[in-house]
């Protein structure tokens, strides 16, 4: 998508053909800084520190991390070591495991001498596939927005509420939840996005607002607890969120606070859609609410806030009394019954086991 009129992806291979560049998302929206990643350890650290984040981008970064590892040592031991290191970086987004397993599947049978080249080829493909998948998600989601625009909101903007950042920054390009929004906007359908700020890391306020603004999409940032009020007053036509892992039964894990929005949507008859690429489906998990591992992050993300001062300095300040404990659950799980539909690259599906298995039989059989 566009930054100041120039097309960017969130991650790419540098012209040297081996090092990887990524936008440092910890510095947005205040500074636009591109970082070079030159080793597997740096790729792991980029994921752990949330320099890159968002399920599909975490997967793509891990794939490049495996390629960087193979460039310096392509033994079986290096393959296993790198896979273990990357898998330990963040627990919830299943795209990480999907990408690492995929790289291992391709690389393990090869002679060590062939691994580096094959690893770069597959990592590049994974990144390209993500872009194509998200474009298709956008195409299917666009139909939902277009239908609301035509039937319920002629001449008025369609109001979409989203949570966290499931935008192009969270993927390689397009985003998942934002892809239908960008495609609607680009086709001249009037959309307006309610952007949940998404405490504690503020991915909505800092990232979603930044990327929508740079693409020219009208939007308004709201405190996380505003959605219910807006829905009661018919100010939300539909909600579209991303996800870090969808269980085989259609339960959806996403950034903490998503569940509350789904409850409010259900109570107010607002359609609640989840946009996902197929690598986000975890067919090995039958019950998302009980089985998806939920990342717990540092209390300091809750007790402190970072922002830019009037004179341009980036500062971190404490907002919670010294001595008050803070809990920081990174994700929650929305039960499938609250999900109106899953927007995938193969169409909009019911959030249930049968629909997921029949749309993605090759993934469902592999478990």
Determine if residue 327 is labeled as part of a ligand binding site.
Answer: no
One residue of 20, 37, 40, 93 binding ligand MRU per CB under 6 A:
93
Residue 278 binding ligand MRU, by CB under 6 A: no
Give the number of other CB atoms < 10 A from CB of residue 313. 9
- The yes-or-no answer on residue 244 being catalytic is yes
**Closest approach of ligand MRU to the CB of residue 2, in Å:** 18
Is 117 in a helix, a strand, or coil?
A: helix
Residue 170 binding ligand MRU, by CB under 6 A: yes
How many Å apart are CA 272 and CA 277, to the nearest integer? 17
Contacts of 57 (CB under 8 A, 6+ apart): 10, 11, 169, 170, 171, 172
Catalytic residue among 224, 244, 251, 332: 244
Residue 245 binding ligand MRU, by CB under 6 A: no
Q: How many residues bind ligand MRU (CB under 6 A)?
A: 17
Please identify, using beta-carbon distances, which residue of 254 and 340 lies nearer to ligand MRU.
Answer: 254
What totals of helices (H) and strands (E) does the chain contain, helices first? 14, 18
Checking DSSP bridges between strand 272-275 and strand 238-241, what pairing results, if any? parallel
Q: Which helix (H) or strand (E) holds 2?
A: strand 2-3
Span from 9-17, 217-225, 240-248, 302-310 in contact with ligand MRU (CB under 6 A): 240-248
How many Å apart are CA 232 and CA 365, to the nearest integer? 42
One residue of 164, 248, 333, 342 binding ligand MRU per CB under 6 A:
164
Please identify, using beta-carbon distances, which residue of 118 and 136 lies nearer to ligand MRU.
Answer: 136
CB distance 148 to 158 below 8 Å: yes
Contacts of 314 (CB under 8 A, 6+ apart): 30, 31, 306, 307, 308
One residue of 255, 282, 348, 359 binding ligand MRU per CB under 6 A:
255
Residue 281 binding ligand MRU, by CB under 6 A: no
How many Å apart are CA 301 and CA 169, to the nearest integer? 20
Chain residue whose CB lies nearest ligand MRU: 242
Please identify, using beta-carbon distances, which residue of 55 and 191 lies nearer to ligand MRU.
Answer: 55
CA-based radius of gyration for the chain: 20
Residue 176 binding ligand MRU, by CB under 6 A: yes
One residue of 254, 278, 340, 344 binding ligand MRU per CB under 6 A:
254
Residue 59 binding ligand MRU, by CB under 6 A: no
Backbone angles phi, psi at 7, to 5 degrees: -75, 130
Binding interface with ligand MRU (CB under 6 A): 53-56, 93, 164, 166, 170-171, 176, 203, 242-244, 254-255, 330
Active-site positions? 244
Output the known binding site.
53-55, 90, 203, 254-255
The binding site for substrate comprises 53-55, 90, 203, 254-255
């Amino acid at each position: 998508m566009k930054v100041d009129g120039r097309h960017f992806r969130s991650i790419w291979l540098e012209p040297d053909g081996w090092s990887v560049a990524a936008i440092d998302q910890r510095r947005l929206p205040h500074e636009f800084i591109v970082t070079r990643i030159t080793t597997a350890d740096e790729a792991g650290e980029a994921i752990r520190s949330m320099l890159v984040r968002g399920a599909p981008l975490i997967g793509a970064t891990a794939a490049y991390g495996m390629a960087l590892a193979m460039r310096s040592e392509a033994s079986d031991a290096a393959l296993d070591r790198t896979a273990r290191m990357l898998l330990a970086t963040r627990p919830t987004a299943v795209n990480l495991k999907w990408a690492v397993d995929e790289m291992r599947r391709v690389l393990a049978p090869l002679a060590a001498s062939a691994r580096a080249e094959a690893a770069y080829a597959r990592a590049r493909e994974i990144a390209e596939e993500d872009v194509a998948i998200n474009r298709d998600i956008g195409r299917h989601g666009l139909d939902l927005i277009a239908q609301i625009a035509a039937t319920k909101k002629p001449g008025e903007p369609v109001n979409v509420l989203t949570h966290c950042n499931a935008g192009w920054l969270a993927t390689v390009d397009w985003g998942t939840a934002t892809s239908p929004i960008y495609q609607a906007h680009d086709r001249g359908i009037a959309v307006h996005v309610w952007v949940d700020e998404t405490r504690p890391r503020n991915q909505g306020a800092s990232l979603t607002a930044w990327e929508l603004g740079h693409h020219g999409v009208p939007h308004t940032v709201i405190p996380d607890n505003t959605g219910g009020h807006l829905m009661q007053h018919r100010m939300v036509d539909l909600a579209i969120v991303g996800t870090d892992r969808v269980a085989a039964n259609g339960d959806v894990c996403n950034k903490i606070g998503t569940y509350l929005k789904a409850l409010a949507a259900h109570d107010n008859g607002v359609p609640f859609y989840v946009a996902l690429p197929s690598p986000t489906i975890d067919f090995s998990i039958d019950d998302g609410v009980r089985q998806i591992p939920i990342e717990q992050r540092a209390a300091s993300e809750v007790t402190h806030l970072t922002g830019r001062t009037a004179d341009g300095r980036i500062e971190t300040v404490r907002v919670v009394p010294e001595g008050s404990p803070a809990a920081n659950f990174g994700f929650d799980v929305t039960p499938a019954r609250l999900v109106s539909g899953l927007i995938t690259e193969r169409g909009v599906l019911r959030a249930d086991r049968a629909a997921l298995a029949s749309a993605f039989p090759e993934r469902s059989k592999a478990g």
